Copies of this chain bind each other. A is one copy, B any other.
Amino acid sequence: MKKNILSEIKKRIQKANKILLSTHIDPDGDTLGSMLALHLILKKMGKKPTMFSGDPVPDIYRFLPSVKLIKNLASPEDFDLIIALDAGSLGRLDPIFKNSGPEKIVNIDHHSDNTRYGKINYIAKVSCVGEQIYALAKHLKVSLDKNIGVCLYVAIMTDTGNFKYDNTTAETFAIAEEMLKLGVSPDKTANAVYENRSWPAIKLLAAALENAQSTAEGKIIYTVITKEILVNTAAHNQDFTGLIDHLRAIRGAEVAILIREDHEKNRVKINFRSKSYVDVQKISKELGGGGHSRAAGAIMHGDLLQIVNQVVGLTTAAL
């Protein structure tokens, strides 16, 4: 089954002349690492793929090899193959793709609720799309190197919460081992991603922890970041990376909720993380969002206090 899909993708790549690779909106370590690795793999096959991300690459990923080649403008109609990485639905891709039919699209993703919007859909139950690109590279018989290794290591590291989430498998560690043998430095890579926190991010974390509340006998931990806190800490979007994990790390917590007013737009972003049994994808869907069972989110509009009450109430009901 997997081998069949990998063969189909291989054929599709071989006959393509102009290939466009794309991240999802608000790109993270998996979508970027997977795209960059695939780009390097395709180049080894003699292809000249173009990489696209509509949203900017967060600072912490700017050390990745070839990252400067990522374009923020592209016309899908100029390409005969579009490979979407880590996007669960067409809506998770940049608006430039809204009129791209399925015909040209290869959809490589690991979200269980993927809508299969491509002509070829390679959907696997693995920790990250990085593991799928690894499998694809093996199938394509392209030899990996240190640069590809760093990209795949970042995909794995970030999507497993640095080997802490329940999607981490023996195979995940086996791939990590191989990446180290290729020369990837686990400390330098982890430093670049995790030890690269801005002062605004530090002050934001301090405020988030200081304001953290617990309810439902400590099973729910939530914190609210108001526009005022954003102004006081000078924090931006990317300064939130990893913040919610600190809430989940509190003893007895099953669900962590980060509720934050948006800097620019009149909306409230909700992020959920759960530890072992609450399906936060389900809660997010009720709020118009999506994600995974242990990590999900939604965007809401309206009065902050009402939203807090609704979100906490819905989560309490899901315990």
* A residues with CB within 8 A of B: 162-166, 168-170, 173-174, 176-178, 180-181, 185-188, 190-191, 194-199, 202-203, 205-207, 209-210, 212, 214, 246, 248-251, 253, 275-276
Contact = CB atoms under 8 A, between A and B. Distances in A.
A194 B163 contact: no
B170 A181 contact: yes
A261 to B, nearest CB: 20
B203 A186 contact: no
Contact of A191 (B177, B190, B206, B276): B276
A164 B185 CA distance: 9
A212 B197 CA distance: 13
A246 B181 CA distance: 29
A203 B195 contact: no
A213 to B, nearest CB: 11
Nearest to A60: B251
A170 B177 contact: yes
Nearest to A157: B163
Nearest to A242: B249
23 contacts: A164-B194, A165-B187, A166-B186, A166-B187, A168-B186, A168-B187, A170-B178, A173-B173, A173-B180, A174-B174, A187-B276, A195-B250, A195-B275, A197-B250, A199-B214, A199-B250, A199-B251, A202-B209, A202-B212, A202-B246, A205-B209, A206-B207, A210-B210
A249 B195 contact: yes
Contacts of A176: 163, 173
